[in-house]
Amino acid sequence: MKVNKTIIIGFIFILLAGIMFVTDIFNPIIRPITYLFLMGSSKGKDIIFFGLLGLFLILSQLIDKEIDTIKYLKISIVLGGVLLILGIVLEIMFRLQLGIGLNTVFCSMTNGMSSTSILHTHLLKAILGGALVNLLGPFIQSGINTGVGLYAYVPSFGFLVILLIPILFATIVLASQKRPWFTNFLLAFFSSCLIIGIIDGGMFATPSYVGIFGLLLVHRNGYYLNYIIGRVLKDENLLKQNELIQPGYRNRGFGEIRYLFNRFLIWFIVIAFILLRFTVAFAGAQPDYYTVDVVNPTDNIDLGNVSANVIDNNTSSNKTTYHIDPSYNEMKLINDLKVPLNNSCEYYTITWNAYSYLDGYYE
C-alpha cells in the first residue's frame, strides 16, 4: 500500500477524531454540519464518524489486485439492510419480553438515563457501549452516551446480530478497492453514516437512510456522479477510471422511459421509506394524552415541572401510570422527566405523540 493523497486525507480525519476526543475546540464548527446527516449529532457520533471516514479512506487503498467490487458493494447493501431490519426485530423482541407497548419510548434509569424505541433504537449501541465501558471505563468522557443502561435488557439474540457489523465493515472495504477517488470518498462517507445509524438509531434514523441509500446511489448512479465531478474539475484520470464502473442498465438498448426509471429508481425508494417512517410514527401516536408508566418507583415521586400537566394517575403493585397533557412536546417531556425520575425508578415508558412536533417546537 503506497502512501497517496487518499491515505493522507484519511489520516487527517482520524487525527481530527482524536483531537475531538480530548477537546471540544472544533465542536462549534463541526457540530452544525454533522447535525444535518447524523440526526442530532453528539460528541460520540462525531468522533466515530470521522474515525470511520478516515479508516475507510485508508483501507480503500489496501489491495492492489483486481477484486469484484460491484459484488461486494451489493453484499454490503444487503448486509446493511439486514442489520437495520434486525434492529427493529430486536426492539419488538425486547418489548414482548418486558410486556410494554410497541409505540412507546423506553427509558432506563440504571447507570444513567438511556432511551430506545422502534423509531430510534439504541439496543445495539448498548451492547457495544457495555464492551466499551469494560475496556475504557475511566477514559470515557461524560459527553459520550454509551447507552449502557439498556445493556441488561437486550435480548440474547442481539449479541449475535452485533457480529454482522464487522462482516459489513469487511465487505465495504473490499467494495472500495481500486475505485475512482470520488467514489472512494462517497463510499467512506455513506458507509460511516450507515454503521453509525445501525448502532445508534436503526432503520428509521437519518444516518441509516443516508448510509444505505447512499451505497445504493453509488451502486446505481456512481458512474454519473463521477462523470459530473470529472467534467467540472477537468480530471481526465477520474473520467478514465470511471469508464470501468458503468452501471448495468447503461448501453443496454433500453427505451428512454425504462432507462430513466432505472437511473432514478433510488429516489422513488427513498421517498417510499420516508413515507413509511412517518406512517409508523403517526399510526402509533397517542394524540389524546401521554401514558407514562413508571416501573418500580420509590415512594413520593415528584415529577417536577411535569406535575402541572398531569391529567390523572393510578398506582398498582409495581407501577404508577400517569396521563399527561398532549400539548407537551414529546422530546421535552422525555427530557423533563429525566431529572426528577433519576434514582427514583427502574425505568419508565412514554407513548409516542408525533403530532406534538407539528407545533414548531423542537429541542
Number of folded domains that form the chain: 2
Q: Within a domain: residue 150?
A: no
Let me know whether 63 and 183 are in one domain: yes
Q: Within a domain: residue 15?
A: yes
Rounded to the nearest 10°, the torsion over CA 256, 260, 262, 263 is 130
Closest CA to 207 of 114, 87, 363: 87
Q: What is the pLDDT of residue 175?
A: 95
Q: Backbone phi, then psi, for 162, in 5-degree steps?
A: -60, -25
Q: What is the pLDDT of residue 23?
A: 87
Closest CA to 303 of 289, 314, 292: 292
Cell numbers 459489513 correspond to 168
Q: What is the pLDDT of residue 339?
A: 85
CATH (domain of 305): 3.30.70
Q: Within a domain: residue 156?
A: no
Q: Within a domain: residue 335?
A: yes
CA separation, residue 245 to residues 198, 220, 263 (Å): 28, 10, 15
Let me know whether 197 and 263 are in one domain: yes
Let me know whether 70 and 177 are in one domain: yes
pLDDT in tens, 110-136: 777 888 999 999 999 888 876 665 555
Let me know whether 338 and 202 are in one domain: no
Let me know whether 299 and 251 are in one domain: no
Segment 22-32 mean pLDDT: 88
Range of the domain at 296: 290-359
Let me know whether 180 and 311 are in one domain: no
Let me know whether 203 and 329 are in one domain: no
Least confident interval from 45-59, 176-190, 309-323: 309-323
Let me know whether 188 and 265 are in one domain: yes
Whole-angstrom Cα distance, residue 91 to residue 88? 5
Whole-angstrom Cα distance, residue 349 to residue 73? 39
pLDDT in tens, 139-173: 455 555 667 788 888 888 888 999 999 999 999 99
The angle formed by the CA atoms of residues 128, 199 and 123, to the nearest 5 degrees, is: 70
Let me know whether 249 and 297 are in one domain: no
Least confident interval from 47-51, 160-164, 341-345: 341-345
Please list, in sequence order, all residues whose beta carbon lies within 8 angstroms of the beta carbon of residue 75, skipping any fewer than 6 positions away: 171, 175
Q: Within a domain: residue 93?
A: no
Q: Within a domain: residue 94?
A: no
Q: How many beta carbons lie within 10 A of that of residue 61, not counting itself?
A: 19
Q: What is the pLDDT of residue 140?
A: 53
Q: What is the pLDDT of residue 324?
A: 92
Out of 283, 303, 331, a domain closes at: 283
Out of 223, 257, 283, a domain closes at: 283
Let me know whether 48 and 193 are in one domain: yes
Q: Within a domain: residue 101?
A: no
The answer to whether the beta carbons of residues 174 and 69 sit under 8 Å apart is yes
Whole-angstrom Cα distance, residue 298 to residue 267? 51
Closest CA to 92 of 174, 25, 26, 161: 161
Let me know whether 18 and 49 are in one domain: yes
Let me know whether 24 and 167 are in one domain: yes
H-type helices in the chain, by residue range?
A: 5-22, 27-37, 43-59, 69-98, 123-136, 157-161, 164-175, 181-199, 206-233, 236-242, 256-283, 330-338
Q: Within a domain: residue 67?
A: yes
pTM: 0.89
Out of 218, 250, 283, a domain closes at: 283
Integer-rounded Cα radius of gyration of the chain: 23
Whether 229 has a pLDDT exceeding 60, the answer reads yes
